[in-house]
């Protein structure tokens, strides 16, 4: 922990993760599609927004506590669903869920996780977590997944809407991404430089997509898994499918991947509890706007019957504060926690959360506020923050 005390920002964790995680899995987490323009813009757009510093304001008694879909959270941040998290570090989903539980924020498990719903539930006890669902052609499998999420004590379901087809991710193609890695000469040479990662993987049985392998007929190895998943994302996804999911789930429902005001209105009409302004971390439509730029239009269109959250691009507590000021009730972090996980396992995730909360707390105070729930656009310098897009 002494070494972790010298980690002062998310970038420090990224640098260490890049050294410790095999190239194909580091690139899977830390890259975007096509030119990676949207991936880069997600971060850069936050930096353009300037804050108003206030002085002679009582800064005692500060609180970052809030709620997300009625759940108390230590700060308005949840861990986003990320595929193959257990390839950043052995048992990665379990470790991240433990860190989130101890910190007091929600953890979201991806359908495409290495550790299964049951694995995570076994290690989180009665503490609920969230589950992310893709729309797949195999509706029977989806129904079983929803029932498994209920049995695992998941308290909310996130439905990802922006992955009917897969964006072209050049690094994944060039790296020959697979889980576990194929024993090619290139991969073996790279793995030889990652002894910590290799020792961790030797010590776990969780090396495949745990929510799928063993739960789908005919999927028992890497080859059958790859062919099954390649054919499963459903390009016919529409709003009627969201209703189909809502009726079978019956609990808190969150819609992820909203980037347009019209889609925000349609999302609100479904009766879902929250929507997430997300461009999949710049991994789907390259050329889409940064999420923070799209946020004001979506907040305006969504109305008051659905919570608006944001992910993609958050690397600091300042980013969280800016999103909150522009109307996001909550935020989600993906790469920021993955860097911590790849660098130091569970302790690294905890350190990432500590860094973000510290930055959020300190910046909020400098902006003249002591309660995150009272923060609004007044903390932003006029002319530096995005306004709603003109309606098409």
The CB density around residue 120, as the number of other CB atoms within 10 Å, is 24
Any binding-site annotation on 169? yes
Q: Residue 248 — very low, low, confident or very high, per pLDDT cuts 50/70/90?
A: very high
Considering only CA atoms, which of 337, 231, 243, 241 is closest in space to residue 281?
337
* Residue 82 assigned ligand-binding role: yes
Q: CATH number of the domain that 145 lies in?
A: 3.20.20.70
CB 248 within 8 A of CB 149: no
132 is known to lie in a ligand binding site: yes
Residue-wise pLDDT for 181-234, tens only, equals: 888 999 999 999 999 999 999 999 999 899 998 888 777 665 666 678 778 889
pLDDT at 215: 87
User: For residue 5, is pLDDT > 90?
Assistant: no
pLDDT classification of 16: cutoffs 50, 70, 90: very high
Q: Is 148 annotated as a binding residue?
A: no
Is 160 labelled as part of a ligand binding site? yes
101 labelled as ligand-binding? no
356 vs 232, residue with greater confidence: 356
Across 54-58, 171-175, 217-221, least confident range: 217-221
Q: What percent of the chain has pLDDT over 70?
A: 98
d(Cα 291, Cα 39) in Å, to the nearest integer? 10
pLDDT band at 1 (very low <50, low <70, confident <90, very high): low
Residues catalogued as catalytic:
280
pLDDT over 60 at 274, yes or no: yes
Range 14-36 average pLDDT: 97
Residue 311 labeled ligand binder:
yes
Residue 288 pLDDT grade (very low, low, confident, very high; cuts 50, 70, 90): very high
Supply the pLDDT for residue 40: 98
Does a structural domain hold residue 384? Answer: no
Instruction: Please confirm whether the linkage preceding 296 is cis (ω < 30° from 0).
Output: no
Is 83 a known ligand-binding residue? yes
Domain that holds residue 170: 2-377
Distance CA(280)–CA(110), nearest Å, equals 13
pLDDT of residue 3: 83
Query: For the chain, what is the radius of gyration of the CA atoms?
Result: 20
Tokens of 341: 């996980």
What is the pLDDT, as a whole number, of residue 156?
Answer: 98
CA pair distance 213, 112, nearest whole angstrom: 11
Domain count, the chain: 1
344 is in an annotated binding site: no
For residue 186, CA distances in Å to 19, 181, 182, 191 come to: 16, 10, 10, 9
Average pLDDT, the chain: 95
392: in domain: no
Read off the pLDDT of each residue in 141-160 and give the average, rounded to a whole number.
Answer: 97
Q: What percent of the chain has pLDDT over 90?
A: 87
Tell me what pLDDT residue 57 has.
94
* Predicted confidence (pLDDT) per residue in 106-134, tens digit: 999 999 999 999 999 999 887 899 999 99
Residue 386: pLDDT above 60? yes
> What is the model's pLDDT at position 2?
62
Q: Are 280 and 312 in contact (CB under 8 A)?
A: yes
């Amino acid at each position: 922990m002494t070494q972790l005390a010298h980690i002062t920002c998310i970038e420090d964790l990224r640098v260490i993760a890049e050294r410790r995680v095999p190239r194909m899995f580091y690139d899977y987490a830390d890259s975007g599609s096509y030119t990676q323009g949207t991936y880069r813009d997600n971060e850069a757009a936050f930096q353009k927004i300037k804050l108003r510093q206030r002085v002679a304001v009582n800064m005692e008694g500060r609180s970052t506590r809030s709620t997300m879909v009625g759940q108390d959270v230590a700060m308005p941040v949840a861990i986003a669903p990320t595929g193959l998290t257990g390839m950043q570090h052995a048992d990665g989903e379990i470790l991240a869920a433990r860190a989130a539980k101890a910190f007091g924020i929600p953890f979201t498990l991806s359908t495409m996780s290495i550790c299964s719903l049951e694995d995570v539930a076994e290690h989180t006890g009665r503490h609920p977590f969230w589950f992310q669902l893709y729309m797949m052609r195999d509706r029977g499998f989806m129904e079983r997944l929803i029932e498994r999420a209920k049995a695992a004590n998941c308290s909310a379901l996130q439905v990802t809407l922006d992955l009917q087809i897969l964006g072209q991710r050049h690094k994944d193609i060039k790296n020959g991404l697979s889980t576990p890695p194929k024993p090619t000469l290139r991969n073996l040479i790279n793995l030889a430089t990652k002894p910590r990662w290799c020792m961790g993987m030797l010590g776990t049985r969780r090396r495949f997509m745990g929510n799928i392998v063993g739960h789908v007929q005919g999927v028992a190895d890497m080859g059958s898994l790859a062919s099954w998943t390649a054919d499963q994302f459903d390009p016919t996804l529409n709003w009627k499918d969201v209703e189909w999911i809502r009726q079978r789930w019956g609990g808190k429902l969150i819609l992820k991947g909203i980037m347009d005001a019209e889609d925000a209105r349609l999302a609100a009409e479904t009766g879902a509890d929250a929507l997430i302004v997300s461009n999949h971390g710049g991994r789907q439509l390259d050329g889409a706007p940064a999420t923070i730029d799209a946020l004001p239009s979506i907040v305006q269109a969504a109305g008051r019957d659905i919570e608006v959250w944001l992910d993609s691009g958050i690397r600091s507590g300042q980013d969280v504060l800016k999103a909150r000021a522009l109307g996001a009730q909550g935020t989600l972090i993906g790469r920021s926690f993955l860097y911590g996980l790849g660098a130091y396992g569970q302790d690294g995730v905890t350190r990432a959360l500590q860094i973000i909360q510290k930055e959020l707390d300190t910046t909020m105070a400098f902006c003249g506020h002591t309660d995150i729930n009272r923060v609004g656009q007044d903390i932003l310098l006029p002319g530096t923050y995005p306004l709603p897009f003109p309606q098409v």
